[in-house]
A and B are shown apart, each in its own frame.
Chain A
Amino acid sequence: MKEHVRQIGALAARATLKTLRQPFQLFPIVFFPLILLAVNASGLKAATRLPGFPTHSYISFAIAVAFIQGGMFSLINAGTNLAEDIESGFFNRLALTPLRRVSLIAGLLVGVGVLGVLQSAVYMVMGVVAGAHLDAGLGGVPVILALGALTALGFGALGCAAALRTGSGEAVQGLFPLFFVFIFLSSSNLPRNLLKTGWFHTVADWNPISYLIEGFRSLYIYGWDGTALWRGFAVALGLTALALLGVAGALRTRMQRT
């Protein structure tokens, strides 16, 4: 067991450092959510004057989207890194060592979770600097970090499943726009009660990303809203579970090929 933990720790450290040492992977994690937050928070500030809008601070409303975008970058970074390892043959060499099969991916995913905590902390600081107010207070900080890590883990695992399935970094990159669509067709810019176009309201209601966003958002604008929180965690856990199932299946197939 101790050996197992040591193996996972070594691979998690490698995964974390690999992302932190590559500016082109680190830059979008910080830059894009920051830019989109700045642009949307300023451009959509007038929306707070709509009757039924839950807060007077659009930045507190919009900061939640940054955590989801961070999760999507976890998908790209984890998937691309794993695909690179597969393409370069490093993954096959690792598979020939006495490392346990589970450790191969668990190490990478623990690294994704650690990065999820770090990027969530960065978004929280960004939000404070920009004027977002965390209504849940200091107690909300660990909850956001936990939900951020779980979200990153879920999306990161999806990226790993895609990498294992295709073995191609390009294919993993191609998933990004697909998941971005989920953000656009959710309650990312306005609360669901203000989505006046019928079909859009229905899509946002069925889109799990809406509930993930609302989980983060509730801590900023409502304080402690049990319903929004359990739904947010349920979506993050469901996404992680489904993605891990995908990883297990894809890993089995790849190891058979190896």
Chain B
Amino acid sequence: MNATEPAGAGIWRVARAIAWRSLHTYARRPDLIVPSLIFPLIFLASFAGGLSALGGLHGFHFPAGYTAFQFVFVLCQSAMFGGLFTGFTLAFDFESGFARRLMLAAEDRRGIALGYAIVALTRAAVTLAVVSAVALATGMRLTGDGVDVFGLYGLAALLVLVGFGWAAGVAFRFRSIQAGPLMQTPVFLILFLAPVYVPLSLLKGWIHAVASVNPATAFLDAGRGLISGVHDQTGLAFVCAVALIVLFGIWMLRGLRAAENAP
């Protein structure tokens, strides 16, 4: 480290190196790219195509139509899973021994976490771009304005970091791909215990009670509000997302310490 370097320069150097390596690997491995694109598209096709009749239910009012309603769920899910998939990469790098060597070499190990976070954001950007292009090409309507759409993708970027923070914390602690189910099952559950198919007002019973306190409901409501231009829970969603990023950021950094102290 150079004495004249600004503080934090070491973190960025490590982060850049990791991000370049991981994105280089990602770009050369169809087995990583294809599933991350296929699954959101299948969800979009299945939910927006297969359940479009739900848009005609009494009490279902969504100005942008059922495809846009489901697109927001797929967008949020793809964003969070973009973060999770990068957690898998980190766990795999530990299993192969690469991450351990990296920890020996890195001048500031927080750069490792930052580097993988950049990877998560970049990978998710590719997925979200493809899913959005397919949704628009198949006739999805956007009734929100440009600022709303910018807000929607801003929210998606925060959700990438939420998913990544959780998954990286698990990966640092278990350092094995065997922990994959532990990374994805809670996220899968939280997402599906929100108003996925119909608005909250049409849910009844226990699912309504759970969805009412589920932060994913705020994400979906905000996203649907932004895409349609009829804002709902936008502030709450951004506050929840930032709070979760802080919480999982601490979880991830404590995991990094656990990995440093591991035998």
Contact = CB atoms under 8 A, between A and B. Distances in A.
Interface of A: 35, 39, 42-47, 49-50, 177, 181, 184-185, 188-190, 194-197, 199-200, 204
B49 A197 contact: yes
A46 B203 contact: yes
B129 interface: no
Contact of A185 (B38, B46, B204, B206): B46
Contacts of B249: none
A197 to B, nearest CB: 4
A23 to B, nearest CB: 12
A184 B195 contact: no
Contacts of B50: 184-185, 188-190, 195, 197, 200, 204
Given A43-B195, A50-B56, A189-B51, A200 B38 contact: no
Contacts of A49: 57-58
B48 to A, nearest CB: 8
The DSSP consensus for interface residues of chain A is helix
Interface in B33-86: 35, 38-39, 42-43, 45-46, 48-54, 56-58
A200 B46 CA distance: 8
Contacts of B197: 43-44, 46-47
Interface residues of B, number: 30
B259 interface: no
Contacts of A181: 38, 42
Contacts of B202: 46
Contact of A43 (B49, B52, B53, B198): B198
B136 interface: no
B193 interface: yes
Contacts of B56: 50
Give the interface centre of A43, A44, A50, A181 by most chain B CB atoms within 10 Å. A43
B189 interface: yes
Given A190-B50, A195-B53, A43 B207 contact: yes
B53 A50 contact: yes
B192 interface: yes
Interface string B176-196: 000000000000010011011
Contacts of B207: 39, 42-43, 45
21 contacts: A35-B189, A35-B192, A39-B192, A39-B207, A42-B205, A42-B207, A44-B51, A44-B54, A45-B203, A45-B204, A46-B54, A46-B57, A47-B51, A47-B54, A47-B57, A177-B39, A181-B42, A189-B51, A197-B48, A197-B50, A200-B46
